[in-house]
Amino acid sequence: MQTISRLGVVGCGLMGSGIAEVAALGGLDVLVAEGSPEAVRSGRRRVEASLDRGVRRGKITEAARDAAVARLAYTDDLDGMADRQFVIEAVAENREVKTGVFAALDRVVTDPEAVLATNTSSLPVIDLAVSTQRPAQVIGLHFFNPVPVQALVEVIPALTTSPDTVLRTRAFVSEHLGKEIVQASDRSGFVVNALLVPFLLSAVRMVDSGSARAEDIDRGMELGCAHPMGPLRLLDLIGLDTAQAVAESMYEEYKEPLYAPPALLRRMVAAGRLGRKTGQGFYDYTA
Ligand code: 3HC
């Protein structure tokens, strides 16, 4: 089996930057692609700020940070992915955008054995697999936010994914990224979001109906059930736009009312109150 040393990460937002950071710390040569020079600059800032924070908090040494920075390269041109052996797509949770990235990667990546993985939270992996000429090498690889902290990665073979791709992906995740694996089938939400999203949406409905305040709902789950953060704080961390997109895909798949994005969530997204990343969500982060 070929050793994987050259990773590509497409998208350098919250998830892509975390994946790139973990992979570089794990010793991989990482090329990160973003859509524009400005997006490349802010993606790079996000990765480097997180590595610096790791040094400040005593998680990694300065030498480890410097080595990781040296292993990271950035581009605004997907053609740069040509020599990659494994590529993880982590762009916005939008079917058309992701399908476009997979079709482009299929044209560009030269190694016929390369694995093309998607960090989708809820879209069918099969839709991305069939947008390439190599559906046997396409697989879901779902990370959790913040990526450097959360130990889990869900591995999701599509109907077309070969057993060899699954084996190589599992080995790559545990050996190079140091993450634990749960394998799930290609059903919207996989294991974790299928359970988590209805819980988060129920908390939004509780705020909307006026039955409890956001602070009390969060305090209830933090102190009553030992969750590290309550559901509304967690929504602010995930991003309300991402949560809405995930809920929409899950609702489309199951037609289950518990997955339908509540009106309040839609209104907050429309208002641009997306959580931490915009400074306001269920809580204010501008101070
Ligand atoms: N990078 C690296 N380390 C980080 C970090 C980051 N971005 N954020 C926090 N940490 C580390 C800190 O260094 C600290 O480590 P230490 O205790 O060893 O010093 C530890 O995590 C705790 O951090 P803080 O003290 O700053 O803050 P908190 O104690 O409030 O923890 C949290 C923050 C890690 C986000 C914690 O609240 C948590 O785990 N929350 C739940 C997150 C969760 O459920 N994520 C899954 C979301 S669902 C998802 O992503 C799927 C998608 O499809 C929707």
From the list 117, 18, 22, 109, the residue with the least C-alpha distance to 71 is 22
Active site residue 193: yes
DSSP state of 201: H
Instruction: Tell me: do 143 and 260 sit in the same domain.
Output: no
Taking CA atoms, 194 is separated from 26, 212, 261, in Å, by 30, 24, 14
Q: Do the strands 180-183 and 152-157 form a parallel or antiparallel pair, or are they unpaired? A: parallel
Asked whether residue 284 is assigned to any structural domain, the reply reads no
Instruction: Tell me: do 117 and 245 sit in the same domain.
Output: no
Instruction: Tell me: do 204 and 106 sit in the same domain.
Output: no
Q: What CATH number should be reported for the domain holding residue 37? A: 3.40.50.720
Instruction: Tell me: do 219 and 240 sit in the same domain.
Output: yes
Instruction: Tell me: do 109 and 171 sit in the same domain.
Output: yes
Q: Is the CB of 55 under 6 A from ligand 1?
A: no
Instruction: Tell me: do 24 and 92 sit in the same domain.
Output: yes
Domain final residue, candidates 134, 153, 183: 183
Q: Is the CB of 280 under 6 A from ligand 1?
A: no
| From 17, 154, 188, 249, active-site residue | 154
* Spacing, Cα 147 to ligand 1 middle (Å): 8
Active site residue 176: no
- What is the extent of the structural domain holding 235? 193-278
Per the structure, the count of domains in the chain is 2
* Residues 72 and 30: beta-carbon distance below 8 Å: yes
* Residues 73 and 30: beta-carbon distance below 8 Å: yes
Asked whether residue 287 is assigned to any structural domain, the reply reads no
Asked whether residue 244 is assigned to any structural domain, the reply reads yes
63: exposed, middle or buried (Cβ count in 10 Å: 0-12, 13-18, 19+): exposed
Q: What CATH number should be reported for the domain holding residue 270? A: 1.10.1040.10
Asked whether residue 286 is assigned to any structural domain, the reply reads no
Instruction: Tell me: do 178 and 64 sit in the same domain.
Output: yes
* Spacing, Cα 237 to ligand 1 middle (Å): 9
Instruction: Tell me: do 14 and 121 sit in the same domain.
Output: yes
Asked whether residue 283 is assigned to any structural domain, the reply reads no
Mark the ranges of the chain whose per-residue pLDDT is less than 50: none
Peptide bond into 146 cis (omega under 30): yes
Asked whether residue 285 is assigned to any structural domain, the reply reads no
Instruction: Tell me: do 209 and 159 sit in the same domain.
Output: no
Q: Is the CB of 227 under 6 A from ligand 1?
A: no
Domain final residue, candidates 158, 183, 208: 183
Instruction: Tell me: do 233 and 103 sit in the same domain.
Output: no
Active site residue 121: yes
Domain final residue, candidates 117, 152, 183: 183
Instruction: Tell me: do 86 and 166 sit in the same domain.
Output: yes
Q: Do the strands 138-143 and 152-157 form a parallel or antiparallel pair, or are they unpaired? A: antiparallel
Instruction: Tell me: do 172 and 245 sit in the same domain.
Output: no
